[in-house]
Copies of this chain bind each other. A is one copy, B any other.
Amino acid sequence: MQLGIVGLGRMGGNISRRLMRNGHHTVVYDRSEQAVQALVPDGAQGAESLADLVAKLDRPRAVWVMLPAGAPTEDTINELADLLDPDDVIIDGGNTFYKDDARRAKSLLAKQLHYVDVGTSGGVWGLDRGYCMMIGAETATFERLEPLFETLAPGVGTIPRTKGRDAEHTRAEKGYIHAGPAGAGHFVKMIHNGIEYGMMQAFAEGFDILKTKNSVQLPEEQRYDLNVGDIAEVWRRGSVVSSWLLDLTADALVSDPDLNGYSGSVSDSGEGRWTIDAAVEQAVPVPVLASSLFARFRSRQEATYGDKMLSAMRFGFGGHVEVKK
């Protein structure tokens, strides 16, 4: 099948490669000509502009936009909307806010264009492992593009089958789902990231206790000399917390058990924030997901204004003067 790809960063480039390796054909475009040329040896057809990309695709076209969420994606989609013809499809593979997907789908439909949002997990590992994809689209559009999704997905692989699943392998087992209408793909991906934040923070807090238990600030008789790398490693073997995130933690701890190589100034992306907004909108209590996000906010600051206010009140009622150690 043929696919246009706009945006050839790590993700866009690897999507092209994975499709080309498996018999599909891609026409690729990026503002950086170098990025375009890098894919040509693998068989991709380069384009010099969005218009050129559109011209090189057969109708009905499908164009995958793989750009940073927000203005870069929005502007490109608007430009494409003017270039494309009825029945063509625009796919947003980025991290777009699900309500923006719904808005766009509605507005493109007025031009008889179709919109698909693909939430992907797997990041830098996707070229080899495949991409886990959650897709929002009209059913007909989804089915038209399904050969692409099937190729990009990890496939059934060697993972033990879920108990109770014994009929033919479903899409979910192959690594992609049709989550619902436009927006539903990014909604499910957003929640995935919210959960990811929570799991990461659970590990972070637990290992913080373990590490602190070694601290010379504890009275000697309370102190251990725990090997955090070995603890992560042993938990990979049959424990309840075994997970890919634990595997990555074990990787990191082998060479740097004190994690001195990491700043601890932790970024957050839109999905983590939108997850909380969605929970608030739907009145779902999410203390863990929210705490995880707040820990990241806090990690990027020295003393907050709120902390200083605590100091000020303590001075007010108790005369306590608090000095930064």
Contacts and interface: CB of A to CB of B under 8 A. Distances in A.
A201 B304 CA distance: 12
Contacts of A238: 121-122, 125-126, 129-132, 153-154, 175
Q: How many copies does the complex hold?
A: 4
B297 A218 contact: no
Q: Which of A198, A210, A215, A247 has the most CB of B within 10 A?
A: A198
B285 A205 contact: yes
A165 B233 contact: yes
A238 to B, nearest CB: 4
A165 B227 CA distance: 15
Contacts of A109: none
Interface in A126-176: 126, 129-134, 153-155, 157, 159-160, 162-165, 170-176
A121 B249 contact: no
Interface stretch (A47-55, A60-68, A78-86, A306-314): A306-314
Interface in A244-260: 244-256, 259-260
A69 interface: no
B245 A162 contact: no
A202 B17 CA distance: 34
A36 interface: no
A270 to B, nearest CB: 10
Contacts of A199: 198-199, 202-203, 241, 243
Q: Which of A172, A202, A243, A246 has the most CB of B within 10 A?
A: A202
Nearest to A230: B172
B305 A240 contact: no
Q: Which of A121, A248, A288, A308 has the most CB of B within 10 A?
A: A288
6 contacts: A124-B317, A162-B251, A177-B231, A208-B309, A252-B312, A259-B311
